[in-house]
Chains A and B, each alone.
Chain A
Amino acid sequence: MFGKLVEKVSTLTSRSHLLTDSSKKLKGWAAFKNRQKLFWNKVGTRYKEVSQSFEIWRASIKTIEGQFGPAVSSYFAFLKWLFFLNLYIFLISFCFIIIPQIIYNDKVDYSTSDTSTTAVCSRRYKDSVVVMKNDTAQLVLDFLQGTGWMEKTLLFHGYYSDKNLLAGQSYNLPLAFIMVVIAYLIMSLILMARQASSALKTAALGEEHQFYPYCNLILSAWDYSLTDDDAIVLKRKSILHELNSSFQERERKLKRENTSKCALYTIRFLANFLVIGLLAGSGYLIYYSMTKATELKEQSNYEEKNKFIKLLFEFLPSLSITFLNVLLPLIFQKLVIVENYTQDTEILLTLARTVFLRLASVAVLLATLYGQVTCSPKDANDCNVGVKDDCPVLRCWESYVGQQLYKLVLTDFIAAFFITFFVEVPRKLIVTKCNCKLSQLVGQQEFEISKNVLDLVYGQTLCWLGAYFSPLIPTIAFVKTFLLFYIKKFTCLFNYAPSTRLVKASKSQTFFTVVLMSAFLMCCIPIGYIIWQIPPSKGCGPFRLYSSAFKIVSLTIDGFPKVFDAIFTFIGSAGVVALIFVCLCLGIYYHATMNELNRKRVIVLREQMAREAQDKAYLMIKINEHSNTNVVSRNYGDQI
C-alpha cells in the first residue's frame, strides 16, 4: 500500500487523507472487506505492540549490527531465539512436572512395611546414595558432579514420584512427565520449522543468486545499519577486495590447473585420511575416558583417593569432549589451507568436518552410555542392576545418564566463560598493547559465526537430550543462554575485529537451521528409543512400575472410552497409513511437475522478453526513419 501510494502523494498527512477518502467511497461488500482488513491490521499491530514489550536485547543487537554487520548480528538473533526456546521448554516442565512434585513431595515415599519389588528396590536405591552433610568440600564436589545430596533433588529423573499425586483426584505424574517430553520435542520442531521455512526460502534464492554475482555484489552490498567508522572502512575494503578477487578468480583457476594435479590429489587424500583418523581417534578417546572413569570408580581403593583426583575422574569424559571440540576445529582450519580449495569450498569443508565432530562426540557418548545401561548379565534378584564384576552397578541409570549430561552442560558453560576471559582477553591485550613480533604473529581475532553457532547447537543438543533425564536441565540451559548473550556480546565488542571478508547473512541463517535440525533429529532418535524400548530402573523415577516408559501412555489410552481406542487402532492400521503415504507421494509428484513446468515457462518468457525488446528497437528505428522522412518531405513541401 505504502510504496504504491508514494508515487502520487509524497507527504504522510496527504496520504492519510487519501486513505480515509478511499474508504468512504466503498460500499457494500467492498466496504465490509475493507473494514475487515483494517480490523485485522489493527489486531496485527496490537500483537506487535504486546510482543515488543517482551522484547529484550534490541539495543545490544543494534550496537553489534552497527559494528559487525548483519551476519554477526544474525548469530545474536539466533542466540536470542534459543533463549526463548529454552524459556518455553523450561516453563512447560516447570508447570507440569516440577511444581506438582514440589507440592506433593511428602506423600510419595513407599512405607517401610511395603515388601513389593518396587518398594524394596526404591529403598535400596535410596540407601545407595551416600550423603555426607558435614563435609563442605564433599558438598561442593557433589554439586559439580551431581552426586550425593544433588542426586536426591529435583535435578534428576530418579527423584520423581511414580504415583498419582494427590490421592483421590489424581494428578498422574508419570503421564505428565512423558507428555512434557513429547510436548517440548513437538514444540521445538514447530518453532524450528517456522524458522526453517523462511531460511529455506532465502536458501532457494541463494541458489539462483549465483547467476547474478556482480549485481548482488553491487546492488545489495551496503549494510545500511553500519554506524561505526572503522566498520565502514573495513566494509569498503571488503567490497573492493571481493571485486578484485572476482576479477582474479579466473586467473587463479588457470593457475590451479597448471600445478601438478597428482601432487594436489595426494595432499587432499592424505588430509582426508588424517581427518578420518582424527575423528576416529577422538571417538575412541571419548569412549575410553567414559569406560575408564567407570572402571576406576569400581576399584576397591577408590574411596581412599584424593577428592581432587576423584573429581578429575568424574569429569574425564566431559573434559575430553570439550577439549576435542576446542582443539580439532583449529587443526581442521589449518589443514584445509594445504588442500588448496576455492574459498567457498574451504569454508564448507571445515564446517562439515566440525559439525561431524560435534555430533559424533555426542553420539559416541550416548553409545557408550547405552552399552553401560543395557550391559548384561543383570541380577534378577537385585532389581535388575548389573552384576558387579561384569557391568557397572547402576541402581538408577536414568539419574546416571542425567549426571553425565549435567556435567557436560556445566563443562560447556565453564569452557565458554574460561576461553572468553582467559584466552581471548589476554590475546586481545597482546595484540593491541604490545608492538612486538608476537602480536603480528597472533593477529586480530575475527568473530567466526559458524564455530560459535556450532557451540550453541551443541548446548541445545545437550538440553534436548538432558531434559528427559534431568528435568531441571532446561532451566540451566535457559540461564546459560541468558548469561552467554552477555559474555558473547562482551567478547564480540571488546575482543574481536570486524571481518575483512564479506560474509553473507543469508548463508549463515540457512546454515544455523540445517545444523539445528540435524541435531534435533539426532536427539529425537535416542529419546524415542529410550522411552519405547529400554526398561526403566526398578527403584527410581516415575516409570519404575512399568516395563517401558511408553507403557504409561498405552495404559492411559486403554482407560479411555472404547471410541478412542477404536480411533487410535484405526489411525494406526496399515490401510490408513498406506493411504496417507500415497497422498503425500502424489502431493510431492504434483509439486515436482509444477516446478518443472514453471522452470520451462521462465525460459520461454525470457526468450519472449528479448524478442519484444528487439521488436521495440526495430520499431524505434522505423519510427525515427519515418519521422525523418516526414520532416524532410515537409521541409521539401515548405520550399515549394
Chain B
Amino acid sequence: MGNQGSVFDDRQLEEYQELTYFTKKEILHVYKKFRQLNPSFVDANRDGRLDMDVIMSLPELKANPFNERICKVFSSTSSGDMSFEDFLDMMSVFSEAAPKHVKVEYAFRIYDFDDDDVLSRGDLKNVVNHLTGNEVLEADDLEQLISNILEEADLDNDGALSFAEFEHVISKAPDFVNSFRIRV
C-alpha cells in the first residue's frame, strides 16, 4: 500500500479527522480495511457502495449477532450497503475514542429492530434471541426475562424502553464502553 497517501488529499483527510474520532493514520488504516473487502471495486471507484454481504465479511461483523442491524443503521441509504464514508462513520463510533453518549445512541438504534424509536417487548425479545443464537430460551423464561428487564428499566411503566430510559440504564453499566468497541 505505497500509494496510501495519494488516495486522499490533505484537505480531505483533515476534514475526515474533524468529523470522526480518528487521527489521519487511523483513517488511512480504516480505508485499508475497507479496500480489502473488495480491492478491485474500491480501486475503480472510491466513492462506490459495497453490498451488505461484502461489508459483513469484515471479521468483527461476521461474528456479530447484530451485524445486519449495524449495517442498516450506518448505511446512509438504510439498505445496508455502505460507502467508505459510512464505513468510516461506523468504525469511528466503535472506536476507543468515541464518547459514551455517542455509543449509547447507536446501540439504541441497533437494538431498535422495528425503527419505532422505542425498545418494545418485541425488540427486546429479538435482542435476546440474537444473543443466544441457536439455543433459544424457553418461551416462559424469555417472557420472564423481558418482564424483569422492563421492571428494572421502564421507569414510566409504558411497557417499552424509550431512549432516555435506555441511556439511564446503560449509564449504570460499567462494561458497556469496553464491550461496544472494535479496535482499528
Give the interface of A toward B (CB within 8 A): 2-3, 6, 10-13, 15-16, 19, 41, 45, 48-49, 52-53, 58, 61-62, 65-66, 69-70, 74, 202-203, 205-206, 208-209, 211-216, 218-229, 231-232, 236-237, 239-240, 243, 247, 504-507, 606, 609-610, 612-614, 616-617
Contacts and interface: CB of A to CB of B under 8 A. Distances in A.
Contacts of B52: none
B111 A504 contact: no
B85 A212 contact: no
A11 B87 CA distance: 10
Contact of B132 (A203, A224, A236): A236
A212 B97 CA distance: 26
Given A3-B101, A61-B183, A48 B23 contact: yes
B86 interface: yes
B173 A220 contact: yes
A638 to B, nearest CB: 34
B32 interface: no
B46 interface: no
Contacts of B137: 240, 243
B128 interface: yes
A216 B173 contact: yes
B174 A247 contact: no
A214 B145 CA distance: 7
A214 B152 contact: yes
Chain B interface mostly: helix
A224 B156 contact: no
B85 A12 contact: yes
Given A62-B183, A225-B60, A616-B158, 6 more contacts: A2-B92, A212-B153, A225-B183, A226-B63, A507-B174, A613-B155
Contact of A227 (B63, B111, B127): B63
Contacts of B183: 58, 61-62, 65, 225
Contact of B181 (A70, A609, A610): A70
Interface in B12-27: 15-21, 23-26
A221 B131 contact: yes
B178 A506 contact: yes
6 A-B pairs with the lowest CB-CB distances in the bound complex, closest first? A613-B156, A506-B174, A220-B176, A3-B102, A12-B85, A227-B59
Contacts of B102: 2-3
Contacts of B19: 2, 12, 15-16, 19
Given A41-B18, A220-B176, A224-B182, A247 B152 contact: no
A202 B174 contact: yes
B149 interface: yes
A95 B151 CA distance: 61
Given A205-B174, A219-B169, A239 B131 contact: yes
A12 B23 CA distance: 16
17 contacts: A3-B101, A15-B19, A19-B18, A19-B19, A48-B97, A49-B25, A61-B183, A212-B169, A215-B152, A218-B127, A225-B183, A226-B60, A227-B59, A243-B137, A504-B174, A507-B174, A617-B157
A49 to B, nearest CB: 5
Contacts of B148: 214
B94 interface: yes
Contact of A247 (B85, B141, B180): B141
Nearest to B83: A11
B64 A224 contact: yes
Contact of A10 (B23, B62, B76, B93): B76
B63 A610 contact: no
Given A227-B63, A613-B158, A3 B105 contact: yes
A45 B170 CA distance: 28
B63 A16 contact: no
Given A12-B85, A214-B145, A227-B60, A505 B175 contact: yes
